[in-house]
Structure 1
């Protein structure tokens, strides 16, 4: 039955039907050891007199791609660039009697929600649109949003109930390289662009699709250390499963499978970082006593354990 209300003379009249299609993004970040945060927009007083936060996003213009609409709206509301995933979830909300723009209407809202992510070096949120529906934007503790401590719109609750980090599996090859003169180990430090920033790890990295792992290792050692290595035997296969923010800024559940090879470099070789703006910002020979003073990734511990196991077996 059509929604009606009373007009002049007591006659019922139909409420105007208003349909709105909007696009939004769930944007979560979480560094190593840091509590996850979500980027939300606070609705202005022209929308609601109460404090209420919602997902960044808004109405799709006629002929506009929904993903483009998210990019535009997030910049208007938060002043940050955003990448948007391909898949989306759709929510439909019908309110037969809703108050919109100073009048009572029969409202139907269709909301398309994507996963989004912003770069590590993105500026702090700042609302660019003046006198709009957003009063401010901010990174807020995800736990406080989920618990209800921070008041949000139902869209936030609905989206977070089904949200899962993007799944990423990565095959990588690493080199365990020692220097005969002092038994030092060649290690690299992870830059602010990588997960576990500031930690030390073995030189190496991801194997490209179709690439032979040993070839990948030679390439990575050149990029990270400026050295050409000779790859030897596989000494261990190590894996790690972590959830956090990827170098791209995307919230991910990451499964890394690490092939650890013994390798050698020419005598007297001095390493230097070749690749600029990557996930490695330092490389050096580290003596055994120094290992205890540095934050090491598990892959280094795995290589040391494999070395000890091989030594004990001899």
Structure 2
């Protein structure tokens, strides 16, 4: 099957009586319900995307009040011959205006999640149920336009990793890569079918040689550089959505880059917070360090 990737942002809002605002694209006798939200436009802030999608699908104006979840799932489209990896960002939101107005041809309403059929993604977020991969019988083409050759859209996961002494684990970006020479949180782009937390464990080992345990989700942000220069010297329109998790290494060793030569990491090391202040670091690292 052809492999495709998509990044979406979704919102959760409750009415205080056990009901969640849900939407459905079907008016069948037994519709399947999901969270309001949808795909990000290129270079779009995920928080702006969930606000836009919420208004389009429910008629409500919302404000993002927190980050709830980041995950990935696979959706099979047999009639299209497509297997889609869908990175999903879930935010807690509150209603600040508007009125319930479903999108034309769709449904929206306040629903008790336990009383209806939910798509697998919504069941996992709202009920903690793992229903496996979704099979979608859609036969019409995807709404997402094809990406230009020089456009890169990436979903990445990083770790704010500490050891029992409070040191922070960082990696230095290699020459020829965007941000070269700066110290960065270990992490990087997720592989097809890989969960963000799995990507953090893999990337931490590749960049530093450490075995990390991943904890809570700390933040979600995005980065857009329409004139980034890749390692081959080819300009690219670079858009990255970035999730940051807290993590720890209980038995630290000397940090060593284990990935193949020519990769994006030049060096790695453990640093006391005071030492980090003297380094040239990325904006993502600076933002995460405020959590310590």
TM bracket, shorter-chain basis = 0.3 to 0.5
- What TM-score does the superposition give when structure 2 sets the normalisation length? 0.46
- What TM-score does the superposition give when structure 1 sets the normalisation length? 0.43
